Amino acid sequence: MGGLLTLLCGDFRQILPVIRQGTRANIVDACLKSSSLWRLVQQYRLTTNMRVALQADERAEMFANKLLRLGNGETDTVKSPDYVSLFNFGIPAENIDILLDRIYPQIHSNYVNHTWLMQKAILAPHNDSVSRINKLLAEKLPTQTHTYTAINSVVDKEQAEQFPVEFLNSIEVQGLPPHVLDLKCGMPVMLLRSIKPPELMNGTRCIIHNCNRHFDEVLIAAGIYSGQHHSIPRIPLRPSDTLFPFQFERKQFPLRPCFAMTINKAQGQILKVIGLDLRQAIFAHGMLYVALSRTRKEDSITTLSSQRLARNVVYTEVI
């Protein structure tokens, strides 16, 4: 048995496995490099940045080199061992309104341009920041709001009496849509479950095309399946983590608005314009590197942070 050649590709500068309440040691231990199999891996490092090579732009090459230094933890720090100055990265925004207007100028009319809409996003470390930004931008769309209320229940019926419906309704966890989901036609949304591979996968970005009581019609607006229309039904969803001492189920459309998204969710996305809301500190290895590397040009980045500083967490032992 055995003898199968396996090719693995990745970048340890990016976000590592998520271990709830895990220490640095726990997170490092969950990495592939900590596996007993790692000694059998033969490593090859790519040396040419093809995005930069194709652009033939000296500024793009300088930006790529700055990102590598940042990802390696080699950027000069300020005030404390893991804070870096953002004066060297992108254009500053003085407040949230300026950030929104710079990333989504005149969105009340430009939202009909799906290409324009899919080329940009605002990134933040925490879900609560993302939710607030999505709400602010949704309010700027002139289309009608359609509100969908989920049905929540405890999976084990014997435990149902211990957890009132009001408590279940209040639960907000990553990977689940909210109990009350407000959608508008023309709004960008992200799919939270793989419904019809390979077209409708977890993380697929779409545009709401039509709102209905039992299903939403979406338009895939990015990637190789761009232009396809699909109907998304309400489906039963369960959180993937074990944060609660019980299992609960939420029947809702598996969608979230994505004018803004978490940095974790943005991993793998390529965008033309990005905004970074870093008023809440970054907390995990590789987050700042992932956030800043979602676009190819440094002048396409707008940052909002306290004192123009950002935390850059790097676990050098895994790089």
Buried/exposed 135-160: b ≥16 CB within 10 Å, e otherwise: ebbbebbebeebebebebbbeeeeee
How many alpha carbons fall within 13 Å on the CB side of residue 92?
Answer: 12
Instruction: Tell me how many degrees the CA angle 82-88-92 measures, rounded to the nearest 5.
Output: 100
pLDDT on residue 242: 66
Calpha distance 119→275 (Å, rounded): 12
**163-176: b (≥16 Cβ within 10 Å) or e:** beeeebbebeebbb
- Predicted pLDDT of residue 114: 96
CA atoms within 13 A on the CB side of 298: 17
Residue ranges of domains in the chain, CATH in brackets: 1-142+259-319 (3.40.50.300), 143-253 (no CATH)
Least confident residue range of 30-44, 235-249, 267-281, 286-300: 235-249
Question: What single-letter DSSP state applies at residue 107?
Answer: H
Q: Determine the average pLDDT of the residues in 48-56.
A: 79
Give per-residue pLDDT as tens, 237-274: 998 776 788 899 999 999 999 999 999 999 989 999 99
pLDDT value at position 62? 92
Q: Evaluate whether 153 touches 248 at the Cβ level (below 8 Å).
A: yes
Of residues 136 and 241, the one with the higher pLDDT is 136
- The mean of the pLDDT values for the chain is 93
Residue with tokens 């430009």: 110
Pick the closest to residue 221 from 101, 121, 288, 128 (CA basis). 121
pLDDT score for 1: 60
Distance between CA 295 and CA 259 in Å, rounded?
16
- Nearest alpha-carbon partner for 181 in 125, 253, 84, 126: 253
pLDDT of residue 255: 97
The pLDDT, as a whole number, for residue 196 is: 93
d(CA 267, CA 159): 37
**Whether the predicted pLDDT of 87 surpasses 90:** no
Does position 293 have pLDDT exceeding 80, yes or no? Answer: yes
The per-residue pLDDT for 249 is 95
Q: Computed from CA positions of residues 74, 80, 81, 83, in that sequence, does the dihedral angle turn out positive or negative?
A: negative
